[in-house]
Chains A and B, each alone.
Chain A
Amino acid sequence: MPEVQFEVNGESVRLTAKPHWTLLDVLRNELNLTGTKCGCEMGDCCACTIILDGRACNSCLVLAAELDGSSVLTIEGLSKDGGLHPVQRAFVDHGAIQCGFCTPGMVMSTVSLLNRIPNPSKDEVRLRLAGNICRCTGYTKIVEAVMAASKAMRCGDGIIK
């Protein structure tokens, strides 16, 4: 069984991965990082979205054995020192959460989106988040929150005042 070494939320992890383990299995079962949710195990819902080497991806579709040398950011690693990331703040303030099960994945997809496209149009947001299923909100407030987070992050970076 392959031994892999990778980074999760800035901390080094070394483990022996069973061949069938996914990154989602490792996060939830081995590392107790249960903020990443499992909605389908088929890549259909994106509830398990994390950021792997800078890109959002479904952790249920990544085999743990492939992780050697990678860097993983999960929802637990997003906010530091008890504060909230601007995306998290926007989701809270805009009522973009109901049951909250899709929220960690939705937030991670949004963070990845805004890292790549800091100033997206609403249509771009809709396109980029189309894989993340939410059954509660109807998405309206999620898109509002993403637009607000985009603005806040750009203001924070000094791009827009």
Chain B
Amino acid sequence: MIEFNAIGKRTPRIDAVEQVTGSAQFLPDLKFPNMLYGAILRSTIAHGRILNIDTSRAERLSRVKAVITSLDYPTACVGFYMGVANKECLVSDKVRFIGDDIAAVAAESQESAQEACSLIKVDLEPLPAVFDPEEALKPCAPLIHDDSPGNIAGEIHKEFGDVADGFAASDKIFESSYRTYAAAHCCLETRGTIAEVDVHGRLTIWSTTQIPHVLREILSMVLNLPVGKIRVRKAYVGGGFGSRQSPDPIDLICALLALKTKRPVRLIKDRIEEFTTDRSRYPMIMTLKTGMKSNGSIRACHADILTDAGAYHDQGITITSHALSRIDHCYRIPCVRMDAKVVFTNKVYGGAFRGYGNPQITFAIESQMDEIAEALGIDPLELRIINACHEGDVAAGGARITSCGLTESLNRSASAVGWEDKRGRSNKRGIGMACFVHSGGGGAWAHGGNFSSAFLKVEYDGSVDLITGVPDVGQGSKTTLALIAAEVIGIPVADVRVHSGDTGIAPVALGARGSRETFLGGNAVKLAAEDAKRQLQDRAAFILGVPVEELGSIQGRIFVKSKPAAFVTIAQAAAKTMHEQASAFPMGIPVVASACYTDPVSEMVDLVAGCGNPCPTYTFGTQIAEVEVDTDTGQVTVIRVVAAHDVGKAINPMAIEGQLEGSISQGIGFALTERVIWEKGVVKNPKLTDYNLPTTMDISKVISILIETNDPEGPFGAKGIGEAGLIPTAGAIANAIYDAIGVRIRDLPITADKILDALEEKAGNE
């Protein structure tokens, strides 16, 4: 077994002291001389044609410095996939949801900007609106986009193997539908942007973004500015969870206001604006038809999804495709069919949220697995073990499984919870399990390749500056990457400074998303650190007069392996100068390294119809939830969750536990309480208390079991873990509720009223 010096140890965040003393600066903490404040006038109706916008009264206010509408910037659309983006940053012809952006103002104060917005007169012709995805598909439904007949944003149809044959060969076929609704990210820091323009006309965008380089690319396309004239930076960011992996109209609007006024402009959403205009989790209606042999093996599966895209394209098609793609490589299924429609409605459009569609489909798959197990008289644990994927499998759709801890996660979680003893006691306490597979280090092929890059320099005191495009939005990637650099070079992690999230200095990375920071970013850092280490060892070999092969490095020293007392410090190697008695200023010949890591494993897969291996790694796991249900009130208490996750290699076990605990808390919210409630397009619960976020009173005990399968391509074997924890939680809770009280709820969140209704129905049937 390899002994590691830095990785694998429980390491506090390298920036924790800044965070805990209030000195960590977030975007709203930044101040610029002469800064203006922006505000956006938003639609108050769900669907309407814009007849006229009169900004004259607003423009007459002395403290107002700019008012812009789509007339100033025609058809400037932003979206994660610019090829399909149809959200104009300021709408020109129609408003399509309550909150749609109509005009924007920059003024000397926030109050003046709001006042100016209230003085803009908009003539709108109300149009019939549609809010439900099934209604939107009807021929009589109002058309939301002229170029999208039937309100269809996109369709997916894929078949791998002959599904008709598969069903014909099945002993029993199960079919049921499941539904999930919108959940909001609720980042504690709301979304914001500050834009400034320098004397050369170069634009700097400070943004709460998860994707600095991608945002720069998008702004470059829309503003028709070369990327060299745009610098995207982030301050500390108060959470992302996928919401900030899309550009937002405010990024572009803020840039336009700054370009127009030549002054810094700040635009920050307030909490209600965040709830009503930021992209939430795509609601899905999912039908699963699964053909089983009576011995418990799955023969075929047909999944059909209807996704509610909301008013515009963002990632509805890719997220639905990603959800469907998870069908065939958690369990071995020889043939699969996947169909989906993504439909526009007059609500705020959806977006990425931790798991990228996978929490929705995994809730459906894992609920159905338990329904199948009961019908076939097989223990749910056994049914999953029978069908589990293994290392070396190639899924029907092309995913190649190069490491897999699924079976181990099943066995270890079951053993930790005492599965056999606790199951089926029906004393209003129950346990339920759910497995999952998630893609790791993916989501980047739309950018032409799956890569990340890093710069590294070793100072002549032996400390290291690591410059990475991978932004830390709270998940702890700075610390993870610092650990990797420290491990390779052989220095304490405290000697690594990480500079991230600034396109002005960092080489290109594709963002904090898709559980890719450790896998892609970590591999790039590892390559750069290995290069720096080689340079340092060459110098040490020269100084010590031994061949490089005889050297090892640990704790800031490079030593002769056979004679550890003979060593030079990293600082001595880094400070090596041209001449032995060179000067009183021993700055040394710089040690600098750079690397780009391109994943050699995955491939571009057509989202709508293609077959192939879209990601370099796949994470697996099992969660078992133990719940107690109060049958008088319908209240569900999650007592504990055992989470056994294949993490590849735990670079920082404390951070992974934190990711799991946080994800599971979000998963419990998704399962039991969280839902953005719309009535005729109006968000009825746009406040943190009304939205029912989990609090300290809702903590359940999380027992994390980290399974190390050592992925062949991961840095030190690591996989990504940022999204995984949320994915199976809702399925495990739904199954535990069934175990406790014998009712099956097929739509989320499983609120008290649904439980009471189901109990009543069950009593009626009995």
Contact = CB atoms under 8 A, between A and B. Distances in A.
A135 B188 contact: yes
A44 interface: yes
A92 to B, nearest CB: 4
A34 B190 CA distance: 15
Contact of B16 (A74, A91, A138): A91
- Which interface residue of B13, B28, B189 has the most chain A CB atoms within 10 A? B189
B702 A140 contact: yes
A34 B24 CA distance: 9
B118 interface: no
Contacts of A45: 188, 688
A129 interface: yes
Interface in B183-228: 185-190
A97 B20 contact: yes
A101 B661 CA distance: 17
B662 interface: yes
Given A99-B474, A139-B696, A34 B22 contact: yes
A42 interface: yes
B188 A88 contact: no
Given A97-B16, A103-B20, A137 B658 contact: yes
A79 interface: yes
Given A95-B10, A135-B187, A100 B695 contact: no
Contacts of A39: 188-190, 238, 271, 688
A64 interface: no
Nearest to A92: B16
B662 A98 contact: yes
A74 B688 CA distance: 23
A67 to B, nearest CB: 20
A135 B241 contact: yes
A142 B10 CA distance: 16
A135 B666 contact: yes
Kindly name the residue among B188, B271, B662 whose own CB sees the greatest number of chain A CB atoms within 10 A. Answer: B188
A114 interface: no
B52 interface: no
A65 interface: no
Contacts of A132: 696
Interface string A134-159: 11111111110000000000000000
A126 B661 contact: no
B451 interface: no
B120 to A, nearest CB: 23
A99 B13 contact: no
Contact of B21 (A42, A79, A93, A138): A79
A138 B10 contact: no
B238 A76 contact: no
B757 to A, nearest CB: 28
Interface string A18-50: 000000000010001111111111101101000
Given A34-B22, A34-B25, A135-B188, A126 B13 contact: no
A52 interface: no
Interface residues of A, number: 53
Interface residues of B, number: 56
Contact of B687 (A38, A40, A143): A40
Contacts of A141: 657-658, 661
Contacts of B694: 138-139
Given A41-B270, A98-B476, A34 B29 contact: yes
Given A100-B19, A104-B22, A138-B665, A95 B13 contact: yes
A63 B353 CA distance: 37
Question: Which of A47, A97, A104, A132 is packed against the most chain B CB atoms within 10 Å?
Answer: A97
A138 B664 contact: yes
Nearest to B239: A99
A37 B188 contact: yes
B26 A97 contact: no
B22 A98 contact: no
A101 B188 contact: yes
A102 interface: yes
B693 interface: yes
A138 to B, nearest CB: 3
B687 A97 contact: no
A44 B696 contact: no
A152 to B, nearest CB: 14
B24 A44 contact: no
B189 A136 contact: no
A91 B16 CA distance: 8
A133 B237 contact: no
B188 A36 contact: no
B696 A130 contact: yes
A137 to B, nearest CB: 5
Interface string B696-716: 110101100000000000000
A75 B696 CA distance: 21
Nearest to B26: A101
Contacts of B12: 92-93, 95
Given A34-B22, A40-B688, A100-B236, A143 B189 contact: no
Contact of B702 (A34, A37, A99, A138): A138
Interface string B1-35: 00000000010110111111111111011010000
A49 B216 CA distance: 35
B394 interface: no
Contacts of A100: 15-16, 18-20, 24, 236, 238, 474
A51 interface: no
Contact of A92 (B20, B657, B661): B20
7 contacts: A37-B26, A84-B20, A91-B16, A136-B188, A138-B665, A138-B699, A138-B702
A-B complex: 10 closest residue pairs judged by Cβ atoms = A35-B22, A99-B474, A101-B238, A138-B665, A100-B19, A75-B22, A34-B29, A138-B661, A44-B688, A101-B188
Given A45-B688, A100-B19, A136-B662, 15 more contacts: A34-B29, A37-B238, A39-B188, A84-B21, A98-B474, A99-B236, A107-B20, A126-B697, A126-B699, A133-B693, A138-B694, A139-B665, A140-B702, A141-B657, A143-B699
